Amino acid sequence: MKDEAATRRQTVRGAPCAVPCAIESGMRIIGGKWTGSILWHLKDGPVRFNELSRMIGGASKKMITERLRQLEARGLVRREVMDTAPVSVHYHLTDLGRTALGFLDELRKWTESLPPVATSDAGPEAGA
């Protein structure tokens, strides 16, 4: 049964995908919890870690650190250690990271246009 479901997911208009499709690949990059929010909050320029943590709110510092490391490894975010006392770390979007802002803004607009029931946490996947 799992093999059937995997085959169905990989089928696009009747042709099975040899590799993950572009949507799946893109979601693997930015689909992690808090990833889009991190990219969005870096849109206006460099942000210190603690400031970013406050901007995001509900994410733990451990989770933010994990996501920032993933984004840095993928080339979307650059970490810069400042030569100050005490040492501070700033995070910036790279040119590649900036390319995500257009569709993140479209996602924001789309989400704002949805009826409240569509954005409610009470849906069937709320417990997942």
Backbone dihedral region of 121: left (phi > 0), alpha (psi from -120 to 50 degrees) or beta?
A: alpha
| Model pLDDT, residue 11 | 53
Q: Which of 54, 127, 124, 67 is nearest to 97 (CA)?
A: 67
Using CA atoms, how far apart are residues 51 and 124, in angstroms rounded to an integer? Answer: 34
- Per CATH, the number for 18-110 is 1.10.10.10
Tens-digit pLDDT profile for residues 70-97:
999 999 999 999 998 888 999 999 999 9
The pair phi, psi for residue 80, each rounded to 5°, is -130, 120
The count of C-alpha atoms lying within 13 angstroms of the C-alpha of 28, restricted to the half-sphere facing its C-beta, is: 7
Measure the CA–CA gap between 67 and 72, rounded to whole angstroms: 8
User: What's the pLDDT score for residue 7?
Assistant: 54
Looking at the chain, list the stretches that DSSP marks H as alpha helix, in order from N- to C-terminal side: 2-10, 22-30, 35-41, 49-56, 61-73, 95-98, 101-113, 116-119
- pLDDT at position 36 is 94
pLDDT greater at residue 75 or residue 5: 75
pLDDT the model gives residue 57: 86
pLDDT of residue 10: 54
Structure confidence by residue, pLDDT tens digits, 11-47: 545 666 667 788 888 888 888 889 999 999 999 999 9
